[in-house]
Amino acid sequence: MSAAHTDAHDHHHDHRPSGIMRWLTTTNHKDIGTMYLIFSLTMFFVGGIMALAIRAELFQPGLQVVNPELFNSLTTMHALIMIFGAIMPGFVGFANWLIPMMIGAPDMALPRMNNWSFWILPFAFAMLLGSLFTVGGGPASGWTLYAPLSVQGGAGVDMTILSIHMMGISSVLGAINIVVTIMNMRAPGMDLMKMPLFVWTWLITAFLLIAAMPVLAGAVTMLLTDRHFGTAFFDPAGGGDPVLFQHIFWFFGHPEVYILILPAFGIVSQIVPTFSRKPLFGYDSMVFATAGIAFLSFIVWAHHMFTVGMPLAGELFFMYATMLIAVPTGVKVFNWVATMWRGSITFETPMLFALAVVFLFTIGGLSGLMLAIVPADFQYHDTYFVVAHFHYVLFAGSIMSMMGAAYYWLPKWTGRMYSERLGKTHFWLTTIFFNVTFFPQHFLGLAGMPRRIPDYALEFTEFNVISSIGAFGLGLAQLLFVYIIIQAVRGKNKKATAQVWEGADGLEWTVESPPPYHTFATPPTVK
């Protein structure tokens, strides 16, 4: 570790080993952020290939590409990998890179723990993916791991459970680090109500993670003891109840969906003002709306289980509580639109992605409202309508916000502009193929096509063909994304200025592009 060397543009001694050891042992928030983002992108492709296998199977009725057992494994793994491997680490990567720079801190508050949060993940996902190669195959119960399905199955299910434990440790440690960094590392003058909205949404997301992930750990622990140690939590013969698993799981699961979307709201709230050349409209109401959504997320979980049988009072409570979420979410959408009102708008790639997020996420939000209505949900439950709904919020909301964020901050990180022409091409291919893939699934669901089934009735064929074609287009378009990133990182493009974007405002735009290895050695002054 003595092989320290000092870069020309680094103002401080940074004792970092070279080569692979730099990445294995780093305590630097930028290095760790980069590793998170590369990991996320890798998992995005791993999960994406699984999605393409699913769409290939569904290209026509009958069984042709994969057998039903593997199909079930693929739907399960696709979800687990995209949620825990692509979206969550992706947002943590952005948090690592940006939060210290946005609040004027030298690094994250607990740098060694930061490294540990990341390095748990490759091991956890090695274990999860390894489950596919065990006797009995990977988990095939859906990512929700409902008992009693998940009480069956072989060693692959145990590997899934233990990998979820590891991901949980990683998430909780990472979230603690983010909360502590935001609460304790702000530069003088950076009051809470002056923080960029991305920081605010991450503060609340981190709170949700600390509160929700341990509950998931408890749920899968009960699953493990039911499987191997003779407990009867989910077995009615011993007085247990499989529905108990669903309650505990969704008590985690619903905050989890806001963990997956709140940072996206933060990203959109950074991008839209920049390219509208106006400050964000209704900053305070954005903060309170985010907190409101976080609070409501803990009292709506059973809307995922309207059809399992619940007392009527329970169904009504969870229905109305769920519909309430539309209020703070509506505040946000209104504020983004009002920010653009009379703005001097330009449509660079990040802005295009942000606008698509606002528009497409709202579609997903509205189909969510439909699903919140109990009698309607009795029909929609477990159909492709649900699949369409959550891909509008998770792909068009979370993933596309991260793509927009990548274009927005990549020039700051690499010091080089990406190719605007290719970026826009990537945007339009992604947006068009996304809608080709997922819009028809609304119709399939309303017509009654169930999810997680490898075969379907002939009447569903046309929309499935369209959806599969869209999926392959969507997948191929992402290769262009990788190409654009590599091009920008290799540094052949135009140099980026410190501010990068004409309308950009915030501390991260005051330092040079790329920023020095340690950014704010002495805290900046915030007016």
Partner 1 sequence: MSATNGDYYLPDPSPWPLVASLGLFALAGGFVMLVNDVSVAPWVMLAGALIIAFMMFGWFGVVVLESEAGKYNAHVDISFRMGMMWFIFSEVMFFAGFFGALFYLRNLAVPWLAETDLLWMGYDGGWPTAGPMGAELIAADTPVTTAGQFSTIGAWGIPIWNTLILLASSVTVTIAHWELKKNNRTGLIIWLLITVVLGFLFLYLQGYEYAHAYADLGLTLGTGVYGATFFMLTGFHGFHVTIGAIILAVILIRCIRGHFKPDHHFGFEAAAWYWHFVDTVWVGLFIFVYVV
Report which DSSP code applies to 186: P
Q: Does 35 bind partner 1 (CB under 8 A)?
A: no
Asked if residue 424 lies in contact with residue 355, where contact means CB atoms within 8 angstroms, the answer is no
> Could you say whether residue 524 binds partner 1 (CB under 8 A)?
no
For 78, other C-beta atoms within 10 Å of its C-beta total 20
With CB under 8 A as the contact rule, the residue among 14, 382, 420, 505 that binds partner 1 is 14
Buried b (16+ CB within 10 A) or exposed e, 127-142: bbbebbeeeebbbbbb
CA–CA gap between residue 82 and residue 385 (Å, rounded): 19
Among 86, 102, 120, 386, binds partner 1 (CB under 8 A): 120
- Measured between its terminal Cα atoms, the distance across the chain in Å is 40
Residue of 123, 288, 320, 341 that binds partner 1 (CB under 8 A): 123
DSSP 8-state symbol, 305: -
- Of residues 176 through 205, those in contact with partner 1 by CB under 8 A are 176-177, 179-180, 183-185
> Which of 42, 65, 66, 119 lies at the binding interface for partner 1 (CB under 8 A)?
119
* Phi (first) and psi of residue 416, to 5 degrees: -130, 145
In sequence order, which residues have a C-beta less than 8 Å from that of residue 44 and are 6 or more positions away? 82, 85, 86, 90, 399, 478
By beta-carbon proximity to partner 1, the closer residue of 153 and 364 is 153
The count of residues in the chain is 527
Q: Choose one: 82-90, 102-110, 407-415, 432-440; the region binding partner 1 (CB under 8 A).
A: 102-110
Q: Restricting to residues 301-340, name those near partner 1 by CB under 8 A.
A: none
Please give the full DSSP string across 18-87, using - where no structure is assigned.
-THHHHHH---HHHHHHHHHHHHHHHHHHHHHHHHHHHHHTTSSS--SS-HHHHHHHHHHHHHIIIIIII
**Which one-letter amino acid corresponds to residue 455?**
D
Catalytic residues: 78, 107, 143, 170-171, 254, 256, 258, 269, 303-304, 329, 332, 451
Q: Which stretch binds partner 1 (CB under 8 A): 226-234, 274-282, 406-414, 450-458?
A: 226-234
Stretch near partner 1 under the rule CB under 8 A, chosen from 207-215, 343-351, 392-400, 488-496: 207-215
Query: Which one, 109 or 471, has the nearer CB to partner 1?
Result: 109
Nearer to partner 1, 87 or 213 (CB): 213
Question: How many Cα atoms are found within 13 Å in the side-chain-facing hemisphere of 451?
Answer: 24
CA distance 68 to 460: 18
Site for partner 1 in 466-495 (CB under 8 A): none
Q: How many residues bind partner 1 (CB under 8 A)?
A: 85
Out of 9, 12, 194, 495, which residue is the one contacting partner 1 (CB under 8 A)?
12
Tokens for 90?
A: 């992706």
Q: Is residue 522 within the footprint of partner 1 (CB under 8 A)?
A: yes
Work out how close the CB of 223 gets to partner 1 at its nearest, in angstroms, rounded to a whole number.
12
Considering the complex, what minimum distance in angstroms separates the CB of residue 164 from partner 1? Answer: 10
87 binds partner 1 (CB under 8 A): no
One residue of 49, 53, 132, 215 binding partner 1 per CB under 8 A: 215
Contacts of 165 (CB under 8 A, 6+ apart): 217, 220, 221
Does position 109 interact with partner 1 (CB under 8 A)? The reply is yes
Least separation in angstroms between residue 168's CB and partner 1 is 9
Interface of this chain with partner 1, residues 233 to 272, rule: CB under 8 A: 233, 235-241, 243-244, 247-248, 251
Closer to partner 1 by CB, 116 or 443: give it. 116
Q: Do 21 and 70 touch, CB atoms closer than 8 A?
A: no
User: What percent of the residues of the chain are helix, what percent strand, and what percent coil, each to the nearest 5?
Assistant: 70, 0, 30
Q: Return d(Cα 142, Cα 130) in angstroms, integer.
A: 17
Site for partner 1 in 142-181 (CB under 8 A): 154-155, 158-159, 162-163, 165-166, 169, 172, 175-177, 179-180
